[in-house]
Amino acid sequence: MTDKTITRRELIATTAKVAAVAATVGPAVAQTAKPAGTLVRPVAVSSMNGLAAVKVAVEKMAAGVPPVDAAVAGVALPEADPDDVTVGYGGLPNEEGVVQLDAAVMDGGTMRAGAVAALERIKHPAQVALDVMRRTNRVLLVGEGALRFARTHGFVEENLLTDRSRKIWLYWKENASQRDDWLPDPREVDDPDIQWFIKKYGDAILRPSGTIHLSACGPGGQLGCCTTTSGLAFKIPGRVGDSPLIGCGLYCDGEVGSAGGTGHGESNIVSVGAHTVVEFMRQGKTPEAACLAALERVVRNTKLDYLRDEKGRPKNNLLLYAVSHAGEVGSAAIWSGERVKYAMCRAGSEPQLLDSAYLFHRDKA
């Protein structure tokens, strides 16, 4: 018997352990959100930081721009916005203070995709991902290779670390441990930039993994999507999250629907979240029901103690967003909270923020 061989007794023990885990976690009672209006297309859905982005995407699609290009045009707003510290310019850096961006695009009509990961010094990684999709026969470029590719295509290099993001990074670095050489300055916490960050994200959650995902559905049901991010704040240099991984941070199938996620990237990677949502829609679930079903799988797949609370539920939140070929939209999260919403815009209407459905209620966001 090799080390890897599992005896029948071990198998039964493992099965019993998994069943015990399921019993500890308990069945999630999904809280569904209200239906999101009639099915006028084009329509775009995104994470809550995409209220302006979904409007741009819908306007572009109404003018004849393909959904994937419209999605990239929409997310260019948060990519350029220094007040969104989870995306593009002003994004929170890695643990060495370097901003490394991940992005991907997918076109449902052709099933082509493009992505870049750990890209430095380029403000609009989603536009580089679009060029990877259209100007190469590959899907994913990383690091120095991605930067050289961007340079080749005329993208301009710039410093993406704003003074605010530098201060937030330094605050994290100085307060992360008492066993290193870095001492916090007690006056630091009163700095308006630090106060701004704490108000927005909470002191306890010092490492936001915000992102923008945008799924777009054109007038005839054509589909495209994009996800772009600075990734988990203060990550290990070179860490790549779910956002640029096709099937995880985004996926679309022109005959079914489009989906993507924001939040704890590693949880989304191991459950291949976006692809799972699209497959549930293929089986006939609404976008919201598909997101909830995919998140139930994420909960079942969260088996490591350090990722689970005392009741066996995932500690981290993950949000999924989806639009169907017919133009239905929906979103769901593992946990409820003030920031558990999504942005949606339909042709002829103003963009709106809607409540996402969720599996577990959290008293405080």
Residue 109 CB, shortest distance to ligand GLY, in Å, is: 26
By the rule CB under 6 A, 125 interacts with ligand GLY: no
Q: Return the number of the residue (218 or 265) whose C-beta is nearest ligand GLY.
A: 265
Contact stretch for ligand GLY (CB under 6 A) within 39-47, 235-243, 290-298, 300-308? 235-243
The first and second tokens of residue 232, run together, are 């988990």
Contact stretch for ligand GLY (CB under 6 A) within 16-24, 241-249, 329-337, 348-356? 241-249
H or E segment and range at residue 349? none
Distance in angstroms (rounded) separating the CA atoms of residues 291 and 343: 15
Nearest to 335 by CA among 303, 288, 286, 295: 295
By the rule CB under 6 A, 242 interacts with ligand GLY: yes
Q: Fill in the amino acid letter for 230.
A: S
By the rule CB under 6 A, 88 interacts with ligand GLY: no
By the rule CB under 6 A, 243 interacts with ligand GLY: yes
Q: Return the number of the residue (165 or 286) whose C-beta is nearest ligand GLY.
A: 165
By the rule CB under 6 A, 241 interacts with ligand GLY: yes
Other Cβ atoms less than 10 A from the Cβ of 71: the count is 40
Q: How many residues bind ligand GLY (CB under 6 A)?
A: 11
Residue 315 CB, shortest distance to ligand GLY, in Å, is: 14
By the rule CB under 6 A, 229 interacts with ligand GLY: yes
Nearest to 215 by CA among 41, 47, 2: 47
Q: Return the number of the residue (165 or 243) whose C-beta is nearest ligand GLY.
A: 243
Distance in angstroms (rounded) separating the CA atoms of residues 258 and 57: 14
Q: Residue from 231, 247, 260, 327 that binds ligand GLY (CB under 6 A)?
A: 231
Q: Contact, 46 vs 343, CB < 8 A?
A: yes
By the rule CB under 6 A, 79 interacts with ligand GLY: no
By the rule CB under 6 A, 263 interacts with ligand GLY: yes
Q: Return the number of the residue (44 or 240) whose C-beta is nearest ligand GLY.
A: 240
By the rule CB under 6 A, 265 interacts with ligand GLY: yes
By the rule CB under 6 A, 267 interacts with ligand GLY: no
By the rule CB under 6 A, 262 interacts with ligand GLY: yes
Which listed residue (7, 32, 38, 211) is catalytic?
211
> Phi and psi dihedrals of 317, rounded to 5?
-95, 150
Cα→Cα distances 359→24, 28, 235, Å: 15, 5, 27
Q: Residue 344: exposed, middle, or buried by beta-carbon count in 10 A (0-12, 13-18, 19+)? A: buried
Residue 159 CB, shortest distance to ligand GLY, in Å, is: 21
Residue 232 CB, shortest distance to ligand GLY, in Å, is: 5
Contact stretch for ligand GLY (CB under 6 A) within 137-145, 227-235, 290-298, 357-365? 227-235
Distance in angstroms (rounded) separating the CA atoms of residues 132 and 126: 10
- Footprint on residues 177-216 left by ligand GLY (CB under 6 A): 209, 211
Distance in angstroms (rounded) separating the CA atoms of residues 141 and 104: 10
By the rule CB under 6 A, 222 interacts with ligand GLY: no
Q: Residue 350: exposed, middle, or buried by beta-carbon count in 10 A (0-12, 13-18, 19+)? A: exposed
Q: Return the number of the residue (66 or 263) whose C-beta is nearest ligand GLY.
A: 263
Strands lying side by side in the sheet with 140-142: 140-142, 112-119, 101-107, 223-229, 212-217, 43-47, 341-346, 352-355
Is 228 tagged catalytic?
A: no
Bridge partners of 285, per DSSP, are none
Residues interacting with ligand GLY, by CB under 6 A? 209, 211, 229, 231-232, 241-243, 262-263, 265
Q: Residues with catalytic annotation? A: 211
